[in-house]
Structure 1
Amino acid sequence: MAIKRQIVKSILFYKNKYPILALTGPRQSGKTTLLRELFPDYQYISLENPDTRAFLQEDAKGFFEKYSKYCIFDEAQRVPELFSYLQTIVDESKIMGQFILSGSQNFLLLKNITQSLAGRVALFKLFPFDFWELKSANLLAKDYVDAMLKGSYPAIFDRDIPSRTFYNNYIQTYVERDIAEIINIRDMRTFRIFLSLCASRAGQLLNLNSLANECGITQPTAKSWISVLESSYILFLLQPYHKNFDKRVIKSPKLFFYDTGLLCHLLKIKDANQIRTHSYKGNIFENMIVSEYIKQNYHQNQMQEFWFWRDSAGHEVDLIRQDDDTLNVIEIKSTKTISADLFKGLNYFSALAKDTIKSQTLVYAGLDNQKRTIAEVVSWKDINNYI
């Protein structure tokens, strides 16, 4: 069955307001399927095809006589000169929604858009399924442990591919290939170790020196590899909220993966029972909830910013979302039992932030939602109703 994607509403809205739309996101997140279903009348051109790339590079005039308007250019970053041609065409034609670009290498795609197409492009990001999308198709797991382990890449659901098989192939076929195209990695085995070490730090403060030392690489190399993994939508860094509140605050970012299925695979977690007793269970649960907020932010095109907050004494709130000048504060706990201790972080932060707080939410692993004086208590499976 086809699963509805939240991002469709925004794409259709901006199609009539910009001459070019660009859709980026990780490989296998459903970009090509979405665009071909949404725009069946557009010509589809894959620039992964070497013959098509050669046609454009060797005979641009002939290429654009054939593909003059209403075209989808997939993996557009493959041919950087494409962007200059499109700039001239759309500036002359004034046609809205004339071209659609898609790509999986965010860094290269954005670089070309910034250089040639600034102000002409509406940019969107599509990630693997979010909870709203899975719930709408009755595919969201009933148990949070199963949801974390399975992950949310479309092929796992559409083609019923076992998660372990999918993620093993995904790393070899896409992640390693993309990384090798962007930077020169002489020893892929060392990079695989680096990727696993990143997984062991999910939900934790990023210490580049420690990560580099454990992997046997230099700190600049570790920084470069993190940057490439970010641009390939494998992981992201959540920055700390810097307002001091007269306390010393932590300035290092926290590391998260966009997909917990991939995270579990890298941690060599093979079944749900293993997660339940795993020392990283809390980190994986926090990762799933934080990434869900990030995914829904992009899928709903909200363009909000997110942080975490922690001071040097260890007081912390897991996620902060800004709403104009006020803050939505979220605490995340991998327990099914609600107790007073779960609200300590929220209580401490609310005493500091005071009038700047708009809402407080406790997301937990249970199934019941409650309205408490200090915060809304929300089940992990229902957070889409509170975003």
Structure 2
Amino acid sequence: MYSRQINRTVISALEEQAAVVLLGPRQVGKTTLALEIADARPSVYLDLEREADRQVLIEPDLYLDEQAGKLVILDEVQQMPGLFASLRGQIDMRRRKGFRTGQFLLLGSASNVLLHQSAESLAGRVRYVEMPPLQLDEVGRDRLNELWLRGGFPDSFQAASNRASLSWREDFLRTYLERDIPALGPRIPATTLRRFWTMLAHAQGGLLNAAALAEGLGVSGQTIGRYLDLLVDLMLVRRLAPWHENVGKRLVKSPKIYVRDSGLVHALLGLGSLESLLGHPVVGGSWEGFCIETIIAAAPAGTEPFFYRTSAGAELDLVLRLPGDEIWAIEIKRTTAPKVSRGFHLAVEDIRADRKLLVYAGDRDIPVANDLRAMPLDMVVAQLRKG
């Protein structure tokens, strides 16, 4: 078991708000974390994928009235969308009885479905927290390559061997394609969606080219948009938006696309060892995506991530707008030579970056030029955690 950074975030949110929605893909550790929190206080736990637990909530107010003063944990809460109206009434009733915070912890694995349901019913009564897979500062920098190869899903990372880890991820993909996604309603052939997901893995970190994807799959551009929306909603793919400030430049307007967990990238491409990964053309995109997800997960709540690219060649792999409008410009290179291109320097001038960082494969924090510092990934994470 690893101590999770998100644990403190969820506990703090429960101390300040009546309901907390903990979002994250399946198997990321939401239930384990929720049960750890439950051990420390009077609680009840219901898994709404189980018929018996759903039956308990056929008359939700009758059951929930008896649980006043306890933390009620509802797992896979999107399975019962009609429950949210009852939760609003329950929260208001409990407030009148003096129970103002820490009443409900709702777990879900499909963000937009859940957000739409809860936003209307629980406005002003809920806080949203996204749970990432295992992070570098949770497992230790000495296991960086293992985390990059296997990804951060706990069962994949902790598998007995690389082969066992790859088998777990292949099963994970199959379960999503054959059971979880159809359960949400979309009627998409599993083989088609698998091909689409694999095409995204091959193009890891590239600009979205819907026309090329549509041609490759033999579907329309509108269908590609629907497939992509689904994987983004399931928190399995990131659509990284371009920086949109008007800087008087011709900006690239297409988003960049990343399969969010590096282990899933490698499973989709059949890469089961570090040697096979290092020899594959996706290695650069995979490393970039791994670093970007690690950095975003470590950033303070409310941070907005972007990338920056102009037609003139100015480019930044990652731009973070932190709370308070501090802007960080980050370049990512899997090299021990801490150098950046002229395009980096042009870009940081365009966006007026407050901090300039190069994530590189060395192990020291060193100055490069013009307030630019080169750091290993774990030091960048530490800087963000401090903020």
TM-score w.r.t. length of structure 1: 0.91
Percent identity of equivalent pairs = 29
Aligned residue for 2:270?
A: 268
CA–CA separation in structure 1 for the residues paired with 2:229 and 2:180: 13
Total equivalences in the alignment: 373
Aligned residue for 1:371?
A: 367
| Worse-superposed segment, 91-100 or 232-241 | 91-100
1:86 matches 2:92 = no
CA–CA separation in structure 1 for the residues paired with 2:317 and 2:160: 33
| Worse-superposed segment, 370-379 or 191-200 | 370-379
| Worse-superposed segment, 151-160 or 255-264 | 151-160
CA–CA separation in structure 2 for the residues paired with 1:364 and 1:285: 10
CA–CA separation in structure 1 for the residues paired with 2:188 and 2:240: 29
Provide Cα deviations, 1:189-212, integer angstroms capped at 9, x if missing partner. 111111101111210100112111
Change (3 A) 1:325 1:93: closer
1:384 matches 2:381 = yes
Provide Cα deviations, 1:305-361, integer angstroms capped at 9, x if missing partner. 01110011332111111133442100011212234xx243321223334xx321100
1:361 matches 2:360 = no
> Contact (CA 8 Å) 2:157, 2:165: kept in 1 or not?
no
Q: CA deviation at 1:17?
A: 1.9
SS at match of 1:7: helix
Where do residues 253-264 of structure 1 align in structure 2 (5 Å cutoff)?
Answer: 253-264=255-266
Change (3 A) 1:372 1:222: same
CA–CA separation in structure 1 for the residues paired with 2:178 and 2:334: 32
Q: Which amino acid aligns with 1:130?
A: Q
Where do residues 114-153 of structure 1 align in structure 2 (5 Å cutoff)?
Answer: 114-135=119-140, 140-142=142-144, 144=145, 146-153=146-153
Change (3 A) 1:247 1:157: closer
Q: CA deviation at 1:158?
A: 4.5
Q: CA deviation at 1:235?
A: 0.6
CA–CA separation in structure 2 for the residues paired with 1:66 and 1:149: 47
Q: CA deviation at 1:221?
A: 1.2
Provide Cα deviations, 1:96-145, integer angstroms capped at 9, x if missing partner. 1111111112122112101211111111110111111112xx7x525x4x
Q: CA deviation at 1:384?
A: 1.1
Q: Which amino acid aligns with 1:379?
A: P
> Contact (CA 8 Å) 2:151, 2:157: kept in 1 or not?
no
> Contact (CA 8 Å) 2:81, 2:117: kept in 1 or not?
yes
Aligned residue for 1:45?
A: 46
CA–CA separation in structure 1 for the residues paired with 2:369 and 2:113: 48
> Contact (CA 8 Å) 1:257, 1:291: kept in 2 or not?
no
Aligned residue for 1:344?
A: 342
> Contact (CA 8 Å) 2:61, 2:90: kept in 1 or not?
no
CA–CA separation in structure 1 for the residues paired with 2:188 and 2:267: 24
SS at match of 2:354: strand
CA–CA separation in structure 1 for the residues paired with 2:349 and 2:62: 66
| Worse-superposed segment, 7-16 or 259-268 | 7-16
Q: CA deviation at 1:66?
A: 4.8
Question: Which consecutive residues of structure 2, in runs of 5 or more, have no partner in the other structure?
Answer: none
Cα RMSD between the aligned structures?
A: 1.9
Change (3 A) 1:84 1:166: same
Provide Cα deviations, 1:55-95, integer angstroms capped at 9, x if missing partner. 322x3344335544421111111111211111111101112
TM-score w.r.t. length of structure 2: 0.91
Aligned residue for 1:24?
A: 23
Q: Which amino acid aligns with 2:319?
A: I
